[in-house]
Structure 1
Amino acid sequence: MASNSSSGGSNSVFIDMQKALKGVDYPADKQTLVETARSNGASEDVMSALDALPDQQFQTPAEVSKAVGQEEG
């Protein structure tokens, strides 16, 4: 199955982010998320989104996605 990335730009960032954060043990702080994403070869878009996150503990992957969605505002 092919995905149509032209219609959902932000969705592809969320998908890439979940891949980049594979292996994170929650709760996790921003630094842990950034370091894990970097070691997993995250794209520049994902790294930029993570860098924009507030310095706090994130309890779940959904919480990270929600915070990233708010940053795009």
Structure 2
Amino acid sequence: MFAPIVILLRDRLGKVKFNKLRGEAIKLHSQVITNFCENLGIDRTARQNMIRTARDNGKKLGLLA
């Protein structure tokens, strides 16, 4: 779904800059999930499962192309 946009962006930015930007986005997203879980008292295992689910959904949507 998003793979063509991701590939175009990667080609425009270059792989090094793109990977740095993608790493920062993943880091921020993981922090949001962590804060959400801490606020609701969700344990570490459930939080890790949410992060894995986010990663897997990103792959299916083509965000990790």
TM above 0.5: no
State the TM-score, normalized to the length of structure 1. Answer: 0.30
Q: Which has the higher strand share?
A: 1
Structure number with larger C-alpha Rg: 2
Could you say which structure has the greater relative contact order, defined with CA pairs below 8 angstroms and 6 or more residues apart?
A: 2
